[in-house]
Amino acid sequence: MRFATWNVNSIRTRVDRVIAFLERSGTDVLAMQEIKCRPDQFPTEAFEEAGYHVAIHGLNQWNGVAVASRLPILDVQDHFPTQPAFGEPPVVEARALGVTIDTTDTLPSEDRQASSMTIWSLYVPNGRELTHAHYAYKLEWLANLAEQGRGWLTDPSALIALVGDWNVAPMDEDVWDMSAFEGATHVSAPEREAFAAFAADGWVEVTRERVTNYTYWDYQKLRFPKNEGMRIDFAYCSPALAARVSGAQIDRDERKGKGASDHVPVIVDVD
> Averaged over 252-269, what is the pLDDT?
97
Non-local (6+) Cβ contacts of 194 within 8 A are: 139, 142, 143, 146, 168
What local confidence, expressed as pLDDT, does residue 107 receive? 58
HSE (side-chain half, CA atoms, 13 Å) at 85:
6
What local confidence, expressed as pLDDT, does residue 114 receive? 55
Percent of the chain clearing pLDDT 90 (strictly above): 96
Report d(CA 243, CA 65) in Å as an integer: 27
Q: Which domains does the chain have, with CATH numbers?
A: 2-270 (3.60.10.10)
Residues marked as binding? 7, 34, 165, 167, 262-263
What local confidence, expressed as pLDDT, does residue 43 receive? 98
Alpha-carbon torsion, ordered 234, 50, 9, 160, to 10 deg: -30
Rounded to two decimals, the pTM is 0.96
What local confidence, expressed as pLDDT, does residue 168 receive? 98
> Maximum CA pair distance of the chain?
57
- Residue 68: closest CA among 126, 25, 110: 25
Q: Are 236 and 204 in contact (CB under 8 A)?
A: yes
Residues marked as binding for Mg(2+)? 7, 34, 165, 167, 262-263
> Averaged over 61-76, what is the pLDDT?
97
Please name the amino acid found at residue 21.
Answer: F
- DSSP-based three-state secondary structure for 221: helix
- Residue 262: closest CA among 214, 226, 217, 213: 217
10 Å CB burial of residue 198 (0-12, 13-18, 19+) is: buried
Please name the amino acid found at residue 256.
Answer: K
pLDDT tens-digit series, residues 9-65:
999 999 999 999 999 999 999 999 999 999 999 999 999 999 999 999 999 999 999
User: Catalytic site residues?
Assistant: 123, 165, 263
pLDDT tens-digit series, residues 171-218:
999 999 999 999 999 999 999 999 999 999 999 999 999 999 999 999
